Amino acid sequence: MSGQEIERKFLVRGSAYKELATDSSRIRQGYILSSHGRTVRVRIRDDKAFLTIKGPAQEGHFGRYEFETKITPEEGTELMKLCEDGIIDKTRYLVPCGGHTFEVDEFYGDNAGLVMAEIELSSEDEEFEKPDFIGLEVTGDKRFYNGHMRKMPFIVWRGTIPREYRHIELE
């Protein structure tokens, strides 16, 4: 798959997304490169693996170029050894709403307590229905991008977001 990815990100309130989810999977991902908005990522999702390259977003826009290809789980395991420090570990829940599917990520490790939802759109001005658990939009805030969270995890800056969006209290 390749093309323009148009994605918006939101913080999640509560845990209702779990009851609404039609599927879930465990994801581990590492970054071979993450710099200046560009990433080369290895993802192992359950028993499948992918190599993804993403370009930077243009200033003031949600979209960015994305290329993704399926690789064997063995290749994924080997490529994970080449990754920079800081593996992202999360469970992804798929939650249909309206004509879209929200991907809700519940993070573990140093990012535990953060739950975020993403929606992919076909255009930046496409309208979509928001389920009740969708909260504050964080699209464009680099703190909420996986490539950044591996270097500066949520545990470091969790106090900067409203308490209602912190899913576990570590203090």
Pull the structure tokens for residue 2. 């390749």
Per the annotation, the verdict on 93 as an active-site residue is no
What values do phi and psi take at 135, rounded to 5? Answer: -120, -135
Whether residue 134 contacts residue 117, with contact meaning beta carbons closer than 8 Å, is answered with: yes
Single out the catalytic residue among 17, 31, 93, 145.
31
User: What amino acid positions are annotated as catalytic residues?
Assistant: 31
